[in-house]
Structure 1
């Protein structure tokens, strides 16, 4: 992980990409608002939790612990974004 600042930017960027795609889907397919809004709501909650985790690291004295902590946050980010895109993809397939 290059820096905490870059990690926060990655969290924001990926989260807002999911939200943007959800709003595009909602614009193109009106009528399925509830499922799309659930994805947006879950993405916002996950983003806020990840930012809170970045701001409060565990084991500040041990370099290896800190590095593995931030790596775990990054993998959680990727898993969460992948899950959100997968849910959105399933909505697109239903249509």
Structure 2
């Protein structure tokens, strides 16, 4: 069947990956791929939550609150361990 991958095809693919990246870089490559997949998953779920929230707000006919949510700076997308709040600039009248 054209859609099935057999054992020999899988072994050939694994052999090519080892030849391309080398045995020393495979753990780092797999770790980076796993981190990328976690980031993608968290961003997709956040987009889904934002979409659900937007539709609920439209259905309820509510306007957004006057005070926006605090912004944060993140070291990398999806990395919440090193995020910190951002101080918003205060507009003060000058004398």
Coarse TM-score class (shorter-chain normalised): 0.3 to 0.5
Higher relative contact order (CA 8 A, sep 6+): 1
Structure having the larger proportion of residues in strand: 2
User: What's the TM-score, normalizing by structure 2?
Assistant: 0.37
User: What's the TM-score, normalizing by structure 1?
Assistant: 0.37
Structure having the larger proportion of residues in helix: 1
Q: Which structure's CA Rg is the greater one? A: 2
